[in-house]
Structures are given as structure tokens and as C-alpha cells.
A and B are shown apart, each in its own frame.
Chain A
């Protein structure tokens, strides 16, 4: 069953310009953060959304949770369209859809004890008969994410624990209402290698235990392989390629995906020396002024005339394998 479906999602942010400039120009510039993104996630699956900074992957995650209003497009959750949902209905739905942010310290209120932070969703959604029952549920959850002894962690403040422990708190807070769907926005990116793997393992275990569906947003291709069933690669607000994680790893089609994979430094010198490097020149263009046509064409080694005309459509090559590139049409 499809749990989440996104159709042609668009988000433009107005660009702030100074007062004097505003007097003299009529044109209002916009950041094209997300430019027509469509995908589906099956229940119980994990979709990895991979891209560099400015690719629009984070904005996509925020749009799905309606933390940001989309400029255009439609979002379906569990078969129901939620794009036009009112504030109160959306608020109630948040019990089912959660997010884990990148920076655990910033996403916890510094003046709220850990236990209270995890209990708060229960209070908001009136889960658990009384405070004592809620407390029990929190303790249970803290223990589940390996914050032991939970009683002791309950009364600590976020500053008093380590980065990895904080992210465990954030995960506990996100999962305490037993959501169906979780957006993990660079959830392990800020953590150290050894702790990062701990957290990845925890997220995988919790996925099976709570039957979760993840949207796993990351810039780091290497972490996707453990947790993602499918991967969508984003570049300048568009999905350029989508496929099973195996397809993307072993047979990347889009020139950008190939570049991305080849650029990952291998923690294995011999493998690294064997790997072919296909590093395009230049950097990601400014999303205020994206290139015409295919967004990757100025850096693409295979760029043809047609690439400058219009952005290529995301085409299904075979079942579950989509590429947006003129090389494949």
C-alpha cells in the first residue's frame, strides 16, 4: 500500500531584496527550492532522498509535513490528500507523521528536561490516562532507545548529555506517539562515525519494531545503503534519478548520480584507487537563477543542444527505475 504520495511538489521562496532595489525593479526574484517533485513511498519502505546542499531535499521533507506551505502540488498521506488540510486537522495528523532533525541540540528546548520533552507529544495528543501512565510510557521509550538508566535521564537537560544521546532523545520524542511515517532529515549527519553507526542501527531496529516508513534525507550516499530500499537523487529542486538502492549503486544512469557516487571518498585505499573519478567542474548553480533546460547541463560532460531547451522529464526506464536525462529518451 502506498503510504505517502507526492505529486508535482513546488516551492518557491521570495528573495529578500533591499528597499532601494525594490523601488527600481518590478521583477520579484524567487528561489526555486523545489521544482516539481513526485514520488511515492510504500508502507514499511524507506526512500532515501539524496542530494547536495541547495538540492531542495530538506525543503521537500518540510513540505510533506506541512511545516512549509507548498507553492503548488499535492501530498497524499494514507490515501488522503493533506495539501489543503486546515491547521487543526493537520495538527492532529502530526501524531502519525514525525520528523527527526539534523541538529539534536537545536531541536530540543534547552529549558525542558528530557523526560518532559519526550512526554510532551503525549500531552499534546492526550495519549495515556494520566501523568503517571505517560511517565511510564516515556521511561519505556527512553529505555528502548538505550538511554539507561531512564529514570536518571528523565530529569536531565539536553546540555548535560552527549550528542549521540541527544539524538536518541529526539528519536524517542518522534516515536512516542507511534507514528506511521518519519522524515529523518540528515538525522545522523552531525554525529561521529562510531556514534553514527549506533544511531543508524537503532533507526533500523525501530523501523521493524514499529513498522515505520521513513523518508531518509541525506547528503551522504554511503549511509543510505543500510537503511534505504529505494533512493531518489535530487539536483537543484528536481529528482534526476530514482531506483532501488542497488540500481543506483551499481548502475547509476544520470551523469550527476555517477559524479556523486564517484566523488564519495572510499575508506579503503585500494578500492579508492580503483574507482574511476568523474568529477564535474564547477559548483551547484544558484537556485535563484537555475540554468535553462536540464539543471545539470552546464556541468554535464554529455550535454547536447537539447539539454539547454527544456528540463528532461522523469521517465520510467523499467519498473521502479526513473531517470530524467535526454541520454535515455
Chain B
């Protein structure tokens, strides 16, 4: 009677997903992004093991161009740039992840409530979040960082303030539209309480877009963090940090010491690119409403 009955094994399911993933253009994009991210993640996790020198102390002569001893050269204090870039990945990723998690922790619940309850609460929250959102990101982060001072947590918080409204807006708008979906009304009709509806019917349907926003935000957070450190509002030296190294290196640019800014700069660019590719691919994979026929 049933014609489409088929047994599904878990492995077969995973295989199907992977196959679909790789055959589409978005899959390749996400794959390249994922490879970049994994490389950086490994670099950050095993920085102590990989780095040939301690990134905070002098390891050779100052202003050495790249050589077999110092493959990224040394800086004005004779520290090994390669080790600094490696350890910088640790700081950059740590702060980015913390910032994004804090932002999500603020933005997602507020967005859910605001969108679902609506009315005056929604208007007030939207107003506040829009006001925050309308500030240029870096300027806002500078202002908050200036108040809070340096340190990993403080930097993460100042970045989170910038991105919380993004989550809020995405979630709120999605919830507001999902709220009028028939399956939400059907849930009401079977007698579900508001909390049940919110967590079992609304939340699962907004989560895919949260994942996408999350990975996109990570790219932004990396840049904002670098920007803060570049301006001297980030991590206190001598902790290795790409933004700080960039600003440190640019003082000597007239001496043609290109390696001091090129490698931290490249690290930022590649990591941001990795996040962007990954999130873009993920986005197309999770929202495949383009070009597919049922």
C-alpha cells in the first residue's frame, strides 16, 4: 500500500546529508570554510606545543625578516612573530566565542519573548535594541570597553553589547512570523500552554537561523576584537594579540618591516574569510528554498 516506505539507518542518513552537502556549491563553500576554521582551532588549541618560542619574551635579534629560524620574522622586541600569531589565534577565538555566546544569551531570550508576547513589551525592547543597533559597531565597542577596561571578559562583553541586538532582531522577527503559522495555532488548539508552544513549536523553527547568525557574528567579532586591540583598548600587552601586533607593526612600516603587519593581518583576514564561507554555506544548506523542487 505505502509506496515510499524505506528503512533508514543512521549512517545512511549521515551519508545522504553529506552527499547533498558536497554536491551543491554551498557545500564546497562551507567545506573550505570549515577547513580554515579547523586549522585555526587546532593552532589555538595546540599553540603551546606548536610554537617554537615563548611569544612574550625575546627569542632572537629584533626586526629579523622571515628566515628558517623565525619563519614569520621577529618584532621590535625580538619576539618570534610565528609564535605570536599562533597564540594570537587562541585569544582571538576565545574572545570571539565568548562575545558571541554572551550576545546570544542576551539577544535570543529577549527576542523570543518580545516576538511572542508582542504588545508594549515588544515595542519597548525593540526601541532599545534598535537604538543600540544604530550605533556604529566599533564605536560602541570602544565606548563600552573604555568604561569596562581591558581584560578578556571585558572585551568580550563590550563586543557582545554590539551584537546582542542582531540576535534580538533576527529572533524577534522570525518569532513574530512563526507565531502566525498554522502549526502554532494547532498547538493552541490541542491545549498547549504558552511556554510549551514557545519552546516546542517556535524555538526549534528559529534555531537554524540562529546557527547561521552565530557563525556570521563570529567573523564580525574577530574583526571588532582586532579593532579594539589595535586602538589599545584590547588585551594588555605583552599577551599576543593580532590587533595589537598590527598596531605595533604599523609604527615601523616606514622601515619596510612588512612581516610585522602582514602575518597578523593575514591571520585576521583568513579567519574572517573562513567564518564567512562557513556561515554562508551553512545558510544555504539550512535554508534550501532556492532552486529546489519538491
Contacts and interface: CB of A to CB of B under 8 A. Distances in A.
> In the complex, A touching B, CB below 8 Å?
yes
Interface of A: 65, 67, 91-92, 94-95, 98-99, 101, 103, 106-112, 120-121, 124-125, 148-149, 152, 161-162, 170, 173-174, 177
A161 to B, nearest CB: 8
A123 to B, nearest CB: 9
Contact of B205 (A65, A109, A125): A109
B61 interface: no
B2 A111 contact: no
B293 to A, nearest CB: 14
A103 B1 contact: no
B190 A103 contact: no
Contacts of B182: 101, 103, 106-107
Contact of A120 (B185, B200, B204): B200
10 contacts: A92-B191, A101-B186, A106-B181, A107-B186, A109-B183, A109-B200, A109-B201, A111-B205, A112-B204, A120-B192
A58 B30 CA distance: 45
Given A109-B200, A162-B4, A121 B191 contact: yes
Q: Is the interface of B mostly helix, strand, loop or mixed?
A: helix
Contacts of A110: 183, 205
A128 to B, nearest CB: 15
A109 B190 contact: no
B177 interface: no
Nearest to A156: B8
B193 to A, nearest CB: 7
Contact of B185 (A67, A98, A121, A170): A67
7 cross-chain pairs, A with B, having the tightest CB-CB distances, nearest first: A94-B191, A111-B204, A106-B182, A107-B186, A121-B190, A107-B182, A109-B183
B75 to A, nearest CB: 51
A101 B196 CA distance: 21
Max count, chain B CB within 10 A of own CB: residue among A65, A103, A110, A111: A111
A306 B2 CA distance: 59
Nearest to A97: B189
A162 B1 CA distance: 13
Contact of B196 (A65, A94, A124, A170): A124
Contacts of B189: 65, 67, 94, 98-99
A106 B183 contact: yes
Contacts of B183: 106-110
Contacts of B4: 161-162
B204 A91 contact: no
Interface in B170-223: 181-183, 185-193, 196, 200-201, 204-205
Nearest to A170: B186
A112 B191 contact: no
Given A99-B186, A108-B183, 7 more contacts: A94-B191, A107-B182, A107-B183, A107-B185, A109-B187, A109-B200, A124-B192
Interface residues of B, number: 21
Contacts of A94: 189-191
Contact of A148 (B1, B188, B196, B204): B1
B14 interface: no
B147 interface: no
B188 to A, nearest CB: 6
B184 to A, nearest CB: 8
B191 A125 contact: yes
B255 interface: no
Given A101-B182, A110-B205, A120 B2 contact: no
B200 A112 contact: yes
A158 to B, nearest CB: 9
Contact of A91 (B1, B193, B205): B193
Contacts of A161: 4
A124 B195 CA distance: 12
Nearest to B5: A152
B185 to A, nearest CB: 6
A39 B247 CA distance: 79
A156 to B, nearest CB: 9
B197 to A, nearest CB: 10
Interface in B234-289: none
A148 B146 CA distance: 65
Nearest to B191: A94
A112 B185 CA distance: 15
A91 B191 contact: yes
Contacts of B1: 148
Contacts of B181: 106
Max count, chain A CB within 10 A of own CB: residue among B1, B5, B186, B188: B186
Max count, chain A CB within 10 A of own CB: residue among B4, B183, B185, B200: B183
B2 A173 contact: no
Given A111-B205, A162-B4, A120 B188 contact: no
Contacts of A106: 181-183
B5 to A, nearest CB: 7
B247 to A, nearest CB: 46
Given A67-B185, A107-B182, A148-B1, A124 B201 contact: no
A152 B196 CA distance: 26
Contacts of A177: 190
Contacts of B192: 120, 124
